[in-house]
């Protein structure tokens, strides 16, 4: 773990005792602090006490006496739509509020760094869509290049659960807006902004607040290099705020929609080809069309962002290209799980809204589409313009009939995943893609999107080869 620096001999309150909260308590203790833990749920408090930590009711009057700081788990609101009562009490008492990301950046560098031939680096990835894939892809490329690397944050491990840095190591962190919004220290070496679309708007009081939370990674952090997706206005604005001129190569622009060759340093994908340009000249190109782990324009944007981040570390294009081909993709995100009798089966159970489902529908030909679940506010009519490759839809779950009414596409009401997979196996022809991209939440039939995707994969695995 990363021992937290700066609180030796002091009491530090920890609010929220999930994965990151317990890792924070352990890291505080390792750094000489006394963690005082609290969670609204008795189960959370019991876990902390079983691990040997003291619990203090942070809702009672005077709870913050002699407390040096309050460390908050990311899911707990500190401002909008209204502050949690414990956070309000800490602020009223003049106690600094932080999260594990802030503690990580305040504690990551140690005296050991002075003895290393190559200083450890951090790459942080934020944005609305593609964060997890981009983070995992950067980590995979570094592994394939033989660089020591760890991955954490909003994916995998809590940041304070990482091991202390080795010589030349690169830590890759996925950071959500909840994490960047509150962290008191943000000092990445390389920061990546993938894109922006509406999400978590109640937590940030609208799009402006949501973008401001993402922007903090660049405005507060001052990274040595910034990789910015410029396919939305917010990305264009952020790039403009960072650059000192057109040829400023501290900034790498990324696009999956247009050519960017006139800028100082850019990486873009068009018609399935990734191109790197520097000072008006193309310096590298990669054919992404046969990279099975990165299908579709949205994944090509992820590939461009990851490519740019590791190029900023000096990784060679040919090494990156080889790593692209060995990248299996993340579970439940446009993941090819089987090819049987000439039919490709793809699990994109993570496509829980229309925006992500639209990207999946644009990524494959000859689609037999499994969709439905617990429908979201606003319906799915916006998907009508993305159905050009859909041969037939197979609707499941609570919203099956609503989807059928909203979308003018040949369809079958299947209700269950079992029935949908069986119907697709019956209908699919060689060259077809069976795509699970639900455009709905899973909670009508499954506890989460992972269980839904796992069930789909199990059913596909049981089909004859």
Contact between residue 82 and residue 111 where contact means Cβ atoms under 8 Å apart: no
Report the percentage of the chain scoring pLDDT > 70.
Answer: 100
In which residue are the tokens 């040096």 written?
A: 68
Q: What integer best gives the mean pLDDT of the chain? A: 95
Give the pLDDT band of residue 81 (cuts 50, 70, 90): very high
Q: Annotated binding residue at 129?
A: yes
| Contact in structure between 38 and 58 (CB atoms under 8 Å) | yes
> Under CATH, what is the fold of the domain 11-98?
Rossmann fold (3.40.50)
* Edge-to-edge strands, sheet with 54-55: 54-55, 34-38, 11-15, 67-72, 97-98
User: Is residue 130 marked as binding?
Assistant: yes
261 or 205, higher pLDDT: 205
Average pLDDT over residues 77-84: 94
- Find out whether 371 and 397 touch, Cβ atoms under 8 Å: no
Highest-confidence range of 41-55, 245-259, 261-275, 417-431, by mean pLDDT? 417-431
Domain boundaries of the chain, sorted by first residue? 11-98, 107-326, 335-461
Domains 11-98 and 107-326 alike in fold = no
d(CA 38, CA 44): 8
Angle, to 10 degrees, between the axis of helix 19-30 and the axis of helix 100-107? 30
For residue 280, what are the CA distances in angstroms to 229, 268, 386? 19, 13, 35
3-state secondary structure the chain: CCCCCCCCCCEEEEECCCHHHHHHHHHHHHCCCEEEEECCCHHHHHHHHHCCCEECCCCCCCCCCCEEEEEECCCCCCCCCCCCHHHHHHHHCCCCEECHHHHHHHHCCCHHHHHCCCCCEEEEEECCCCHHHHHHHHHHHHHHCCCCEEEEECCCECHHHCCCCCCCCEEEEECCHHHHHHCCCCCCCEEEECCCCCCCHHHHCCHHHHHHHHHHHHHCCCCCEEEEECCCHHHHHHHHHHCCCCCCCCEEEEECCCCCCCCCEEEEEECCEEEEEECCEEEEEEECCCCCCCCHHHHHHHHHHHHHHHHCCCCCHHHHHHHHHHCCCCCCCCEEEEEECCEEEEECCCCCCHHHHHHHHCCCCCEEEEEECECCCCCCHHHHHHCCCEEEEEEECCCHHHHHHHCCCCEEEEECHHHHHHHHHHHCCCCCEEEECCCCECCCCCCCHHHHHHHHHHHHHCCCC
> Tokens for 252?
């790498």
Token pair, residue 69, equals 């700081």
pTM: 0.90
State the pLDDT confidence band at 376, using cuts at 50, 70 and 90.
confident
Average pLDDT over residues 243-254: 91
Q: Is the pLDDT of residue 261 over 80?
A: no
The tokens 């089909």 sit on which residue? 463
Q: Is 132 annotated as a binding residue?
A: yes
What's the confidence (pLDDT) of residue 263? 82
Exposure string of 410-446, with b = 16+ CB inside 10 Å and e = fewer, is ebbebbebeebbebbbeebeeebbbbbbbbbbbebbb
Q: What is the mean pLDDT of residues 99-104?
A: 97
- Window from 94-98, 272-276, 332-336 with minimum mean pLDDT: 332-336
Rounded CA-CA distance 22/407 in Å is 46
Q: What is the CATH number of domain 335-461?
A: 3.90.190.20
What's residue 257's pLDDT? 87
**Alpha carbon of 5 to those of 102, 109, 461: distances in Å?**
11, 10, 49
Q: Determine the topology of domain 107-326 in CATH.
A: 3.40.1190
Q: Is 128 annotated as a binding residue?
A: yes
Rounded distance between C-alpha atoms, residue 230 and residue 274, angstroms:
15
pLDDT of residue 465: 81
Alpha-carbon distances of 219 from 198, 212, 223, 415, rounded to whole Å: 21, 9, 9, 48
CB neighbours (10 Å) of residue 188?
A: 24
Q: Kindly state the tokens that stand for 83.
A: 């502050």
- pLDDT 10s digits, 183-223: 999 999 999 999 998 878 899 999 999 999 999 999 987 89
Residue 134 in marked binding region: no
Residue 384: what are its φ and ψ, rounded to 5°?
-55, -35
Backbone φ and ψ for 14, nearest 5 degrees, come out as: -125, 120
pLDDT of residue 98: 98
Q: Is 197 annotated as a binding residue?
A: no
Question: What's the whole-number mean pLDDT along residues 408-432?
Answer: 98
Residue 375 counted as an annotated binding residue: no
């Amino acid at each position: 773990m990363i021992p937290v620096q700066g609180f030796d001999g002091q009491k530090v309150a920890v609010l929220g005792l999930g994965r990151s909260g317990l890792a924070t308590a352990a890291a505080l203790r390792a750094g000489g602090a006394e963690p005082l833990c609290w969670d609204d749920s008795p189960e959370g408090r019991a876990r902390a006490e079983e691990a040997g930590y003291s619990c203090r009711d942070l809702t009672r009057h005077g709870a913050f006496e002699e407390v040096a700081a309050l460390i908050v788990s990311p899911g707990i609101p500190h401002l909008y739509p209204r502050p949690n009562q414990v956070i309000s009490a800490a602020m009223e008492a003049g106690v600094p509020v932080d999260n594990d990301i802030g503690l990580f950046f305040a504690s990551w560098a140690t005296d050991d760094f002075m003895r290393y031939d190559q200083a450890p680096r951090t790459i942080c990835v934020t944005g609305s869509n593609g964060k997890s894939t981009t983070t995992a892809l950067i980590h995979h490329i570094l592994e394939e290049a033989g660089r020591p690397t760890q991955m954490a944050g909003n994916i995998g491990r809590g940041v304070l659960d990482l091991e202390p840095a080795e010589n030349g190591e690169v830590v890759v962190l996925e950071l959500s807006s909840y994490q960047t919004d509150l962290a008191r220290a943000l000092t990445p070496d390389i920061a990546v902004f993938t894109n922006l679309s509406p999400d978590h708007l109640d937590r940030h009081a609208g799009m402006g607040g949501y973008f401001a939370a993402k922007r903090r990674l660049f405005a507060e952090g001052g990274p040595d290099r910034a990789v910015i997706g410029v396919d939305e206005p917010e990305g264009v604005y952020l790039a403009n705020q960072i650059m000192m001129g057109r040829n400023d190569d501290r900034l790498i622009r990324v696009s999956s929609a247009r050519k960017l060759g006139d800028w100082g340093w850019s990486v873009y994908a068009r018609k399935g080809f990734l191109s790197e340009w520097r000072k008006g000249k193309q310096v590298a190109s990669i054919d992404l069309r046969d990279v099975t782990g990165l299908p579709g324009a949205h994944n090509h944007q992820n590939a461009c962002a990851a490519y740019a981040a590791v190029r900023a570390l000096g990784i060679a294009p040919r090494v990156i290209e080889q790593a692209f081909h060995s990248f299996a993709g993340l579970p439940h995100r446009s993941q090819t799980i089987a090819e049987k009798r000439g039919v490709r089966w793809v699990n994109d159970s993570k496509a829980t809204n229309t925006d992500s489902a639209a990207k999946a529908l644009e990524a494959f030909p000859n689609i037999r589409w499994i969709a439905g679940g617990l429908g979201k506010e606003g319906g799915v009519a916006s998907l009508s313009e993305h159905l050009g490759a859909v041969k037939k839809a197979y609707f499941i779950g609570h919203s099956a009939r609503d989807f059928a009414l909203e979308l003018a596409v040949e369809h079958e009401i299947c209700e269950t995943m079992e029935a949908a997979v069986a119907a697709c196996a019956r209908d699919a022809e060689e060259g077809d893609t069976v795509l699970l991209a639900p455009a709905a939440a899973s909670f009508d039939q499954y506890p989460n999107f992972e269980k839904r995707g796992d069930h789909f994969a199990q059913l596909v695995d049981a089909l004859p080869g």
